[in-house]
Structure 1
Amino acid sequence: MLRKTVLAHALTIAFAASSLSLALGGSAHAASNSAGDIVGRAAAGTVITIENKSIGFTRSLTVGQNGDYQLTMLPPGSYVVRAKRADGAVEERQVSVTAGEGVSANFEAAGTNTVVVTGRLQRIDVKSPESSMVLNEAAIDRIPVARDVTAVALLAPGATRGDPRIGSTTLRAGNVPSLGGASPAENVYYINGFNVTNMLNGVAFNQVPFEAIAQQQVKTGGYGPEYGRSLGGVLSVTTKRGTNEWKGGANVIWSPVDLRAKEVYAERGASSGNWVTSERPGGLDDLQANLWLGGPVVEDKLFVFGLVQGADIEQNTFGSSVQTQYKTSTPRYLLKADWNITDKNLLEFTAFSDKSKDKVRTWNLARPYSDTPTTEKLPDEYTTGGENYIAKYTSWLTDSFTISALAGLGRYNNGQVIGSAACPYITDNRTATTRLLGCATAPSTSLSDARDERKAYRIDAEWNLGDHGLRFGLDNDEYKVVSGSISSGGAREWIRTAAPGATLSNGYTNNTGAAFDYVESRHFENGGAFTTKNAAYYIEDNWQVSKNLMLNVGVRNESFENLNAEDKTFIKVKNTWAPRLGLSWDVKGDQSMKLFANAGRYYIPVMSNTNVRLSGAELDYTEFYRYTGSNGADAFQRPGRGEQLGTRVVSSNGEAGDPRSVVDPNIKPMYQDEFIVGFQQALANRWSVGAKVTHRKLQSVMDDMCNGPGAQSWALANGFNASQAAIIGEAINHCFLYNPGGDLTANIDLEDGKGLTAIKIPAASLGFEKPVRKWTAVEFTFERAWDGKWNLQGSYVWAKSRGNTEGYVKSDIGQDDAGISQDWDYPGLMEGAYGYLPNDRRHTLKLFGAYQLTPELRIGANVILQSGRPLNCLGYYAGNLDEVSIEYKSASFWCNRKLNPRGTLGRLPWTRELGLQASYQPAWFKGSTFTVDVLNVLNARAVAQVEEAGEASLGTPSPTYLQPGAFQPGRSIRFMAQYEF
């Protein structure tokens, strides 16, 4: 009765969800992203025994009357599955269990003799509608790819590179990918089942040393209700572990700067006026060494694995004004312990650190982009990453019921020590080659103790009830951040040119009849300590409707709470319901062909950046002055200021408002619906092919809105007196967090002695259209599985991403203020915003594989071809929807007094990348491996990002418009020497 009730409610919720999308997947379902399942069919009464000798793990069960069996939450590794029927006949299968997936072992045919089948079974998983790619350590080692989680994730269909400005800029972190058309800030990252996503803004995550990875999984759609807090994808890493045999090794990995292609830059051609690419000195020298050891402390009971990574990494960059040198040598480590308390109880512990300190030195250059350093500036130090501790307990209470509990503590540092913090950051933007003046090295200084800390726990359970397999659980996540920054030297300053008739962002117009230069000076500061709490529970019924048909019906309930610096709640959303419905049909009943579909709703939490920017005390103002033509003679070199031009523009007054007066009390979190439908076909000789169609639609956006004039006009027309209307306008001007495109309920003190009054302002008065982000993709995949000789895997994806918002970041301008972007602040900023979004890559082709030429020599290759992103011209607002958007400078789709809708000004060029690998394992030196990888063999240098700001003031074209700001990484060569025992 209970099962039927749960199923009925889940079905009702699932089918009631509006605008859900279509799914096709290619991997198995498991309750944990750090463990896997073995499932199958056998005659009733058959005794199934699984054994993993390397970790002393054995489990047995008796198959029930319906013939299905399932062994869940298993440690990854190689297992022998043995079936003993009632007549005494025995069959065996050897299978490989991977984390986050299931593997099948069927024993339906009668037989009398023992049969041992080794190697990978040429069957596909017919139990799951998920879309995922799984690569174990051996598979990753066969692919010439950069050694980081993002680079591996980019091999998955539907994955594209995020904007180079989005994500960490430290030497060993790299940026983050866009998955399934979502912004790069909308993924979630796990290590051994623990969420390691940096929830400040979603564009960073903790990482184990790459050599410690045993498996990486990328889920790009259709995932079940145990996963949430993501609209893009789920990236899960499972680490290596100890076994019953002591094994260890060491390696050295070196990418020498002298064998890298030269860095490039772009400047205006003297004669053509076009952007011309030239080489410049500098580059990255990356030397890393790893030492590891693992084995049994007590055979079959207690195992340990440890790895330490040392590094000597140096990068030199020669820009238009300065040479910058980054160096790091901070060691990293991983420790993994596994204790088989009994045959049915397992305790795991993981500790790792990815803390890194980058020491930075900066010199002025005598000539742009040349190796001509002169005076050295004060040094800087950037700290990222931190320590993480994870404990997990799994208990197989009965043959049909398994439960696991996980608790973790994670830290991520964001501290900065800027030696030149007293120096204002000054750039001269009057020419195409922008020059940095003075002693500054950074535009702002973060708190030296800036850090994040996560305390989290989760419980997952699986209960096999014959044709129904119930999965349920809960998780709780508390995230605390200390964050904030202040403009270096008190102000960020620009020297610009105002053409005759040009209008500055504060409304001042140049009516002198001649061009003149001016100084723009912005002061910004904020900071504090803030807490974010996320909680969820879920339930799913995996219903074997018939022998060939599996139905996955589930629902996830999530709640979000954000607190300000005084630990007062300013956002609290309870009981969001996210239904998930999946269907998988084993068409022929022999695991050779699968049709599948999936519909689901996915929520993402409010990032902690919203706490910092919206609920904290923030002072932000900009002033404008006539430039005298000369700069100070001291190290600061402050631009000479003449008369002030117009008035000061105040964006934030430095006061933290009442938490009730900055958020719509009826706010809904950002969420998305998804549909997937497709098929997968197994072919002879280890081949398989597949195709799917995915459609994702963003249903709600959460962002700040500041349209005080629109609210004031509405108030005057709806019964409020002039004084009250002015108060309402001023309150909204300080920005409210709400769901753009809908009505706003604002708590405002009308100064009538009644305290805060809830005022509902209709959407039409605020001037915003409904938020739109739609991603549609058609995907074709194929794979020839590795058999010890060769493999080949690839995909082609046609995709279209369109709408008026990218999501949690704004790649057009490199803004990673998750949830507090400039979008939706004023109607003028959104005029013309609908079009092709930054992650719209229409065509993507990926191929990778390897071939064992001889027992000692293997070669590998990796090819990625992808069309370019759309381009915009962003300028000073010249429309008539509001009078404030112009204060945002080059931020609207009005450019040079013309409306240019999003994505209508062409595209960046295709990126083409070929990687090659040769790996030699000499028989005369057993245990050794020597590998050479050449990345971007043809040294393609496609432009990855350009400056899309098209105006220096209203009516003054920007000399840096479309200047390339980042390029595809050039050719590099990586050497590895390794010994294992």
Structure 2
Amino acid sequence: MASNKRNCFSKHAKRTALSLALGACFIGGVHAQSNTAGAIAGRASAGDTITITSPSTGFTRTVTVGADGTFRFSALPTGQYTVTSSAGGSRNVAVNVGTAANADFVSAVASGGGATTLDAVQVVGTGFINPIDVTSVESNTILTAEQIAKIPVPRDTTSVALLAPGTVRGDAAFGNLASFGGASVAENQYFINGFNITNSFRSLNFSQVPFEAIAEQQIKTGGYGAEFGRSLGGVVNQVTKRGTNEFHAGANIFYTPESLTANTDNIYLRNGTLRQDNSRDEGWAATAAVWASGALIKDTLFAYALLQYGKTENDAWGNVLSPNNTNTKVKNPNWLLKMDWRINDSNLLELTAFSDKQKTDIDTYVNPLGQVAREDYIGTLKNEQGGENYVLKYTGYFTDNLTFSALAGHGEFSRAQKLITADGQNISYSGDLNQTLGGCPFILDVRPVYRRDITGAYYSRCNVAAGALLQRDDSKDTRDQFRIDVDWQLGDHLLKFGYDLDDYESVAGQANEGGLLWRYSTIDPTPLLPASGDEFDVVRQQTTTSGAVLEVKQRAFYIQDSWNVTDTFIAYLGLRWDTFENINGSGQSYVKIDNQFGPRLGFSWDVNGDSTFKLFGNAGRYALPLTPSVALRGASASVFTRRTWNFTGVDPVTGEPVLGTPRNNISYLNGEDGRGKDPLTIASKNLDPQYQDEYILGFQAALTQNLSLGMRGIYRELKAAIDDNCDYTAIMDANGLTPDEDGVWRNADGRAANIPGPGFPYCRMFNPGEDAVFVTDLYGDGNYVTNTIEGSRLSPKAKRTYSALEIFVDGSWDKFFLQGSYTYAKSKGNTEGGVKSDIGQADTNVTQDFDYIELTENTFGYLPNDRRHSFKLFGNYEISDEWSVGGNLLVQSGRPYNCLGVLDRDPNREPGDPPSQPRPIGTYNPHPYGASFMRCNNVPVPRGTAGRLPWTTNFDLNIAYRPSFAEGLQFKVDVFNLFDTQKTIGVNEVAEDPVSGLPVETYLSAAALQAPRTVRFMVQYDF
């Protein structure tokens, strides 16, 4: 039994230690616990009856102490409980999510001596943030709503998760997301009351529950049990507030005024030229909420309801290199309802329903290039995000030792877009591949600098979406989840097993505003000579259109056992089997992985037998499925065309060319010609899921009655990755085809390959570095050939390791609590994982990392989420009954950056020689991926060796006032980034022009800075 034989202190411990030992067994993570509930366990005399009662809801359960002197109450709703024994005595304990609270009535000597009855003292948990839990083998942090409210921290899930050891903020290109243990930001899972709220389309978003409704947030950074899966990073598990017999209501408002927000520092190019003038940027935010909770039927039916409305506005003027600037308004009309029905003491039913809908309007204005000005209004891009979620959960206490729970949930998440032009046109994309959108196309001018200086840069003065592909107007994601979990106490074994079904559907698609992208470039007829005036410009027409309904079906079965080998030693064994199936827009399965095995092992040793010193360790394997987004263009019907034209002029408003003669016919790239893809040819037939192994070893010790110290070492190794490879020549070589003078691949008999074609895709899913088994309809005649391509022909093996040492302290006194950690970590490899922070590529699972083997050269090194040193310290001090002050300090070393340049194959240029000035297109033989290589000035610059960003320091402070004359009233001021330090946290890593190969002045210009100082005011009233 995982927790039954734990005693907080031996009979030799002082009673004050028993009362003040920070509830050494009161709060902490236990593998055997539910992701929505907790447990109470302890020791008492055999045959005694133990009763627990929730003072707030009247919930009561009674069990009989077993012959071994242990008892346990599983799957309990979180909250305060009174535990009483028929032999006398009582305990008050706090049950937190995923924890086992301890309530011993006898104490066993670690050496094996007889049990001693404890006095009938009342033990109350002290709110210690992360105390010693000798039943747990996982890396776990729990923060309650009360604790979060006392800390100066932004009110969002990610900001709270970043307080935990081993978490760092991800690249700004992906939004407000965290990296856990070196994994990419696309490898985490998020839950609310047991329901998965991860937006799995790209795994770069999740449902945002109204934050006022959060009762507890659990952050699992490693070692989590077999009931959790589909994550290589971390798990964020939230529990909402709920109603009680006592009526409560309240309201608050949070306001961040524009007048007290510091300006973001200006950004300059390497030559000192102003790139971004932020002096006129402005912004404010406000959120108001009202809530009420209580019993609709006393002791039986309870409700908690909340309405919340938030609004933010940001004015962004500054990019002098952009033809437009924007004003952004965000509205969040959100709500939540939590209902609990205690049918009787053996059967509970709960409903969670919430909406996190968000509407964003981005008004776009003309900005003259090279200036900071706001001219004509162009139009508005309208975005919808979020949706409604409904979760029903049943818990049945069938016997003293057997608990059953079942959960069913449905969630929707909108990603819809449309735009409205200044003249009132309503432009949206329906997902029809033949639809051509109205509006202005995007203009891209990639001509060499010297050509742009001669003719001026070409750009659009009417493009609303600023080059982004417009998402279809019905884009959304739907999740239907069902799971059952069973807890069974069997002697010294606490068994848990369950089944999880998760069906995810994505309606997706995108198209160019105006239907086209125009790309201007330069041709040099005499490429081996210096620029001589014979160069001329051309323009390329490009269309990108997609639209499909995609699915991912996920199934998992797990079983785990927490075994009390002795009174002081727990062994944990967990087994998990995951099945992943991805379905394309035609309803065809193109990837299916059955019964991926994920074992989990662990131990916890209560060395002194009194919960004052714990050794623990674990090892586990964790797997990750493919995201649905992979199939949008890679496995479903889509259109991607290009055609190059001569032109005679350029429209000064739209930037479109006045076309002359075409230079070639329309070409369909990547096999995207509007026909469906052949599911047999999309992925390697021996594809493994992305998975990694993890090992953790650590200890935690009570230094005093109020302070504990812990340390753990962590090692993670990526064993297999999934990405795409676009070098189709491997298939040609394997079948003896060679290109003719026109570039057509033919066999020895002159028969041409069907490329591109539905059965012969350019890019295919594979495990980098592993042998791939590809199926191809080589000639488009329905006859398939199967080739095994050696891994070394396509790419090196995907590698990513994370090694870290975490030191953490927890302390709690009468008026003061703190938590701190120091992490020394290294994240090293040749792939970040699902995304690519080097260039802000958010195409989860299909980054350019392994598209061609040339792209893998010099890529092994320190990865973007490598923050070598992280020091975190936060807490709160109660100055008096009316006043308190809180602080939050983060000191962190900078991430590595790279020097990305072109792959120059000019035989007349030695490595290190500077390029000619000017250097027009054609003086070298560029790779089509342009400046995507770990080399600059024709010299390798291995990953992470170009330099590191500076250390950053961020200190937040708050002060709260609760006037004694008005009970329930509270005022609070939070100051974020008190000293307004604005160090660079992200830079442009592209060092060379992708066309000419010349150095660019934007290299190392700041892409992101620390957020400037802001001040947030709060007024709250509870009654």
TM-score for the superposition, normalised by structure 1: 0.90
What is the 5 A alignment of 1:633-712? 633=652, 635-638=653-656, 650-654=669-673, 655-712=675-732
Measured after TM superposition, the shift of residue 361 of structure 1 is: 1.2
What is the 5 A alignment of 1:165-180? 165-167=173-175, 175-180=176-181
Partner of 2:879: 853
Measured after TM superposition, the shift of residue 664 of structure 1 is: 1.4
1:407 aligns with 2:408: yes
The residue identity in structure 1 corresponding to 2:36 is S
Label 1:502 to 1:268 Cα distance change in 2 as closer, same or farther (>3 A).
farther
Partners of 1:30 and 1:73 within 8 A in 2? no
1:931-972, Cα deviation, whole Å (9 max, x unpaired): 000000011111122221222225222332222122111000
Label 1:143 to 1:165 Cα distance change in 2 as closer, same or farther (>3 A).
same
1:154 aligns with 2:162: yes
CA distance in 2: counterparts of 1:564 and 1:113, whole angstroms: 65
1:430-488, Cα deviation, whole Å (9 max, x unpaired): 58999963211212211000001001110011100111110100100001111011122
What is the 5 A alignment of 1:809-824? 809-824=835-850
Partners of 1:197 and 1:205 within 8 A in 2? yes
Q: Which structure 2 segments of 5+ residues have no match? A: 1-26, 108-115, 422-437, 739-745, 908-923
The residue identity in structure 1 corresponding to 2:601 is L
What is the 5 A alignment of 1:314-463? 314-320=313-319, 321-366=323-368, 370=372, 372-419=373-420, 422-428=439-445, 430=449, 437-442=460-465, 443=467, 444-463=469-488
Partners of 2:380 and 2:420 within 8 A in 1? yes
Measured after TM superposition, the shift of residue 547 of structure 1 is: 0.5
1:925 aligns with 2:966: yes
Partners of 1:500 and 1:512 within 8 A in 2? no
SS at match of 1:181: coil
Partners of 1:33 and 1:236 within 8 A in 2? yes
1:195-222, Cα deviation, whole Å (9 max, x unpaired): 0100100010001111111111110000
1:903 aligns with 2:909: no
Label 1:728 to 1:784 Cα distance change in 2 as closer, same or farther (>3 A).
farther
CA distance in 1: counterparts of 2:819 and 2:532, whole angstroms: 65
1:286 aligns with 2:285: yes
SS at match of 2:896: coil
1:606 aligns with 2:626: yes
Task: Pick one of 495, 503, 507 that aligns with 1:470.
Answer: 495
Measured after TM superposition, the shift of residue 502 of structure 1 is: 7.6
Label 1:479 to 1:879 Cα distance change in 2 as closer, same or farther (>3 A).
farther
Partners of 2:195 and 2:391 within 8 A in 1? yes
Partner of 1:946: 987
SS at match of 1:329: strand
Label 1:352 to 1:885 Cα distance change in 2 as closer, same or farther (>3 A).
farther
Task: Pick one of 776, 781, 800 that aligns with 2:803.
Answer: 776
Partner of 1:118: 124
Partners of 1:896 and 1:950 within 8 A in 2? no
Partner of 2:919: none
1:935 aligns with 2:968: no
Partner of 1:240: 241
Partners of 2:725 and 2:763 within 8 A in 1? yes
Q: Please, which moves more after superposition, 296-305 or 281-290?
A: 281-290
1:32-56, Cα deviation, whole Å (9 max, x unpaired): 2111111222232232211111021
Label 1:689 to 1:624 Cα distance change in 2 as closer, same or farther (>3 A).
farther
Measured after TM superposition, the shift of residue 735 of structure 1 is: 1.3
CA distance in 2: counterparts of 1:275 and 1:649, whole angstroms: 40
Partner of 2:15: none
CA distance in 1: counterparts of 2:684 and 2:603, whole angstroms: 38
What is the 5 A alignment of 1:290-309? 290-309=289-308
CA distance in 1: counterparts of 2:203 and 2:326, whole angstroms: 27
CA distance in 1: counterparts of 2:732 and 2:348, whole angstroms: 63
Q: Please, which moves more after superposition, 101-110 or 702-711?
A: 101-110
The residue identity in structure 2 corresponding to 1:755 is N
Measured after TM superposition, the shift of residue 166 of structure 1 is: 0.9
CA distance in 2: counterparts of 1:99 and 1:279, whole angstroms: 44
Label 1:214 to 1:299 Cα distance change in 2 as closer, same or farther (>3 A).
same
Task: Pick one of 573, 583, 587 that aligns with 1:567.
Answer: 587
Partner of 2:113: none
SS at match of 1:319: coil
Measured after TM superposition, the shift of residue 622 of structure 1 is: 4.6
Partner of 1:137: 145
Task: Pick one of 723, 733, 737 that aligns with 2:765.
Answer: 737
Q: Please, which moves more after superposition, 954-963 or 291-300?
A: 954-963
Measured after TM superposition, the shift of residue 106 of structure 1 is: 2.0
Partner of 1:971: 1013
SS at match of 2:439: coil
Label 1:295 to 1:632 Cα distance change in 2 as closer, same or farther (>3 A).
same
Label 1:75 to 1:724 Cα distance change in 2 as closer, same or farther (>3 A).
farther
Q: Please, which moves more after superposition, 351-360 or 381-390?
A: 351-360
SS at match of 2:704: coil
Label 1:708 to 1:69 Cα distance change in 2 as closer, same or farther (>3 A).
same
SS at match of 1:888: coil
Partner of 1:62: 64
1:314-366, Cα deviation, whole Å (9 max, x unpaired): 11111323231111334100000000001011000010000111122111135
CA distance in 1: counterparts of 2:274 and 2:892, whole angstroms: 22
Label 1:209 to 1:955 Cα distance change in 2 as closer, same or farther (>3 A).
same
Measured after TM superposition, the shift of residue 112 of structure 1 is: 7.8
The residue identity in structure 2 corresponding to 1:637 is G
CA distance in 1: counterparts of 2:999 and 2:213, whole angstroms: 51
Measured after TM superposition, the shift of residue 626 of structure 1 is: 7.2
CA distance in 2: counterparts of 1:96 and 1:499, whole angstroms: 75
Measured after TM superposition, the shift of residue 892 of structure 1 is: 2.1
SS at match of 2:409: strand
TM-score for the superposition, normalised by structure 2: 0.87
Measured after TM superposition, the shift of residue 977 of structure 1 is: 0.4
Partner of 1:102: 100
CA distance in 2: counterparts of 1:361 and 1:880, whole angstroms: 46
The residue identity in structure 1 corresponding to 2:167 is A
Label 1:892 to 1:283 Cα distance change in 2 as closer, same or farther (>3 A).
same
Label 1:643 to 1:773 Cα distance change in 2 as closer, same or farther (>3 A).
farther
CA distance in 1: counterparts of 2:1000 and 2:992, whole angstroms: 4
The residue identity in structure 2 corresponding to 1:889 is G
Measured after TM superposition, the shift of residue 685 of structure 1 is: 3.2
1:852-906, Cα deviation, whole Å (9 max, x unpaired): 001100000000111111111222333699x998212222223343322111100
Label 1:554 to 1:769 Cα distance change in 2 as closer, same or farther (>3 A).
same
Partner of 1:195: 196
Partners of 2:754 and 2:778 within 8 A in 1? yes
Instruction: Count residues with an aligned counterpart.
Output: 932
Measured after TM superposition, the shift of residue 92 of structure 1 is: 1.9
Measured after TM superposition, the shift of residue 810 of structure 1 is: 0.8
CA distance in 2: counterparts of 1:124 and 1:666, whole angstroms: 44
1:792 aligns with 2:818: yes
Q: Which structure 1 segments of 5+ residues have no match? A: 1-24, 168-174, 504-508
1:491-542, Cα deviation, whole Å (9 max, x unpaired): 3345567899889xxxxx9975787766565431211111110000100011
